[in-house]
Amino acid sequence: MEISIQKATLDDLMDIFDWRNDQVTCQMSLDSNPIELEIHREWFLKAISSKNIKMYVALQDDAKVGVCRFDMASNAAEVSINLNPSFRGKGLSFDILQSSIDVFFEEVEIDLIAKIKEENIRSIDLFRRCGFVFDRQEVGFNIFSYSVSDTR
């Protein structure tokens, strides 16, 4: 079953909100506190209309299976991924992340970074499988990078 990637829209607001506040997601997020709906709504509306944020929803057979976001700064985009809790453990994260990166690079070619909690071994392994390399350690998390010039 193939993964397709589409830009996030207002229709995705509640799904992404629910996934973000999932207990496992909270534990692995840099900010582990649940988000209030109004704060999420305000952030989401700004995010989907921002020229500096690209957010994609991954679909498998019309089911929303995950979200991948790219927050662009002047020299790199920080990438994050979150799966629909119902689809964890099904081997989809690699295809979601790699497909999202491919779609992102069709619009923008900029180096990528990922900030991952030290204990989030699954995400560390995922980003390494997608070509990210360890860059440096900061308090509580590791920074991984992906250079466009190394792959293009």
pLDDT at 151 over 70: no
Q: Using alpha carbons only, give the angle 92, 141, 37 rounded to the nearest 5 degrees.
A: 65
In the structure, what pLDDT confidence band is assigned to residue 125 with cuts at 50, 70 and 90?
A: very high
First to last CA, the chain: 27
Output the CATH code of domain 3-151.
3.40.630.30
Q: pTM of the entire structure?
A: 0.93
In the structure, what pLDDT confidence band is assigned to residue 27 with cuts at 50, 70 and 90?
A: confident
- Helix 121-129 vs helix 93-107: crossing angle, to nearest 10: 50
pLDDT at 9 over 50: yes
Sign of CA dihedral 144, 122, 21, 93: positive
Residues 36-87: tens digit of each pLDDT:
999 999 999 999 999 999 999 999 998 999 999 999 998 999 999 999 999 9
- Every domain of the chain and the residues it spans: 3-151
